[in-house]
Amino acid sequence: MTAAAPTAPPRARLERVEVRGLLKQYPGVVALDGANVTIEGGSVLGLLGKNGAGKSTLIKLLAGVVQPDAGEMVLDGEPITLHDPHAATALGFSFVHQELADVPNLSVAENVGLGLGYPTYPGGIVKRRVLKRNARTVLDRLEADIDPSTPLSRLSIAQRRLVMIAHGLAANAGLFVLDEPTASLTDDEIAHLHRVLRTLRDEGVAIVYVSHRLDEIFAVTDRVTVMRDGRDVFHGETSALDKQQLIEHITGTHVVAPEQRRRRVSPQGTEEVLRVEGMSQPGIVHDASFSLRAGELLGIAGLVGAGRTELMRLVSGADRAAAGRVTVRGQERRIRSPHDGMAAGIVLLPEDRKTQGAVMNFSVRKNITLPAMSRYRVAPPLPLPNQRRERAAALDLVGRLNIKVADVEQPALNLSGGNQQKVVLAKWLDSGADVYIFDEPTHGIDVEGKEEVYDLMAKLADQGRGVIFISSEFTELVGVCNRVLVMRDGRLVKEFEGEAISDAALVASCYSH
């Protein structure tokens, strides 16, 4: 006789989850201020708002990670209390976070069944074939061509997100909450995910979809709830809105959508601030050459894996190139490390702000002054920082970039994603660099915050610096840049300037061979 495998209990699809008057306060901050949200079964709700609007706190409350100070949550007419994440899981709530909470060193099948009880023989030995078969069943529902025995670490980000959804299906979840689920995904992967969500919706599952990408909100959601300053400020049918109306609900003001911005005019001068020739790294970047003029805002377009980030890491010295030449303002520079890049006047603001762009345990002050500590010494011979001068510089940059922080001594990890990105920008703003490389600087930033980043890049260009802007959102490049280069398979394949820059042209160049 074999031991029965624990399984998720049969559960009727939920009809409605209601959040009523939720209040959550932290020292000096009101994260939620009487928020009201209704999540319907068989519907996709877009949850929108600026960074710091309260979305993340609401998700943590639904997940049982934190508890409210006041208000209530109601499931199908019955009040519920979520003391911990186990309580949320028991009610059929499943979460796919922006930063995946999976276990990369386990197999796909083990991740799908994690926490649900693995099927076992007497003595506790896991029935591997049954575990894989169970995983295969839910993966097939997601049209996911993934081998259940594959180590999770070998999968793409898109595949890992599908595995997290498969885990929720295996748990018979009735509510899925997805936080920025398409970050770093290709267009095809995004389309696949959206098909999966529509299928789940049609099966009666309730879905909350959090994204700053408004095109996705219109493509996949049925209704939207907009939050601002911890409150719900708008509820409505997605089909009854246009993009400009939605932006105004999110910001509370009139903000121009990226594609409606007035494109920058190409600089009149011909001074080259940067020239790259024959930049190569076997199997990654192939003989890439381009130039950048002073006052220019140059976009780099391409699909995920095209080599955009890899090329700029070679240019900046973050990775060492196998071949290539870099010339800054007419002087050839030997760049083999980030220190060489900074010495040459090239700075890279990386895509991964949490592990590469900032030291999250450091205060905002320390992060901002870190690249130029020598400026803030007590005296030139002594390597001791003058904290008063550091604080004054940090406060100045916090004000200029409108960084939402209670105090510059607050750890960077306590800030919202958008404000963390601004801290990364702040530390380079007064570096005196000639070339600024922005790699996906608006990722995870709200509409109003994106506008601030666009303006910051434009101001740097107006000061005679050269600015390179990598973005997966082509509408940003169309509305912001005066010239755009397209990368495909590690090669620069196309160039567009002025009125020739369009979303359709960039997409066509990325896919055509």
- For residue 1, tell me if it sits in a domain: no
The predicted structure's pLDDT at residue 161:
83
What mean pLDDT value characterizes the chain? 84
Q: Give pLDDT, residue 346.
A: 95
What would the pLDDT profile of 252-284 be if each residue is shown by its tens digit? Answer: 765 555 555 555 566 766 789 999 999 999 988
Say if strands 483-488 and 466-470 run parallel, antiparallel, or are unpaired.
unpaired
User: What pLDDT, on the 0 to 100 scale, is given for residue 3?
Assistant: 39
Residue carrying structure tokens 């740097």:
460
Does the pLDDT value for residue 4 go beyond 80?
no
Query: Token pair of 277, please?
Result: 């020739």
The more confident residue out of 376 and 285 is 285
Domain-embedded: residue 4: no
The verdict on 338 and 363 lying in the same domain is: no
Residue 13 lies in a domain: no
Q: Nearest 5 degrees, angle CA 298-CA 301-CA 306?
A: 130
| C-beta of residue 96 within 8 angstroms of C-beta of residue 161 | yes
Q: Same structural domain for residues 138 and 273?
A: no
131 shares a domain with 72: no
CA–CA separation, 29 vs 98, rounded Å?
A: 23
Residue 68's nearest CA partner among 58, 77, 79 is: 58
CB atoms closer than 10 angstroms to residue 134: 22
* pLDDT score, position 314: 96
pLDDT surpasses 90 at 181? no
Distance CA 110, CA 372 (A): 47
51 part of a folded domain: yes
* More reliable by pLDDT, 10 or 283: 283
- pLDDT tens digit string along 484-496? 999 988 999 999 9
Amino acid type, 409 = E
pLDDT computed for residue 453 by the predictor: 84
Residue-wise pLDDT tens digits, 322-332:
999 999 999 99
Confidence of residue 184 (pLDDT cuts 50, 70, 90): low
Are 82 and 110 contained in the same domain? no
Note the pLDDT of residue 2.
38
Domain boundary among 431, 448, 475: 431
Element (H, E) at 94: strand 93-96
> How are beta strands 323-328 and 331-333 bridged, if at all?
antiparallel
- Does residue 259 or residue 157 have the better pLDDT? 157
Structure tokens at 508: 């066509």
Q: How many residues are listed for the chain in this entry?
A: 513
**Can you say how many angstroms the Cα of residue 6 is from the centroid of all Cα atoms in its chain?**
36
The pLDDT of residue 229 is 85
DSSP states of 322-387: SEEEEEETTEEE---SHHHHHHTTEEEE-S-IIIII--TTSBHHHHHHGGGGGGGEEETTEEEE-H
Name the packing angle between helices 387-401 and 417-429 (round to 10°): 120
Residue pair 487/308 in contact (Cβ under 8 Å)? The answer is yes
For 432-460, the pLDDT digits (tens) are 789 999 998 887 677 777 888 888 889 88
Same domain, 442 and 503: yes
At 356, the pLDDT band (50, 70, 90 cuts) reads low
Q: Please tell me the predicted confidence (pLDDT) of residue 403.
A: 83
> Is residue 96 classed as helix, strand or coil in its secondary structure?
strand
Residues 341 and 375 occupy one common structural domain: no
Is residue 291 within 8 Å of residue 315, measured between CB atoms?
A: no
307 touches 489 (CB < 8 A): yes
Q: Which residue has the tokens 């001074």?
A: 271
Question: What is the extent of the structural domain holding 419?
Answer: 355-431
pLDDT grade, residue 366 (50/70/90)? confident
Mean pLDDT of 385-392: 78
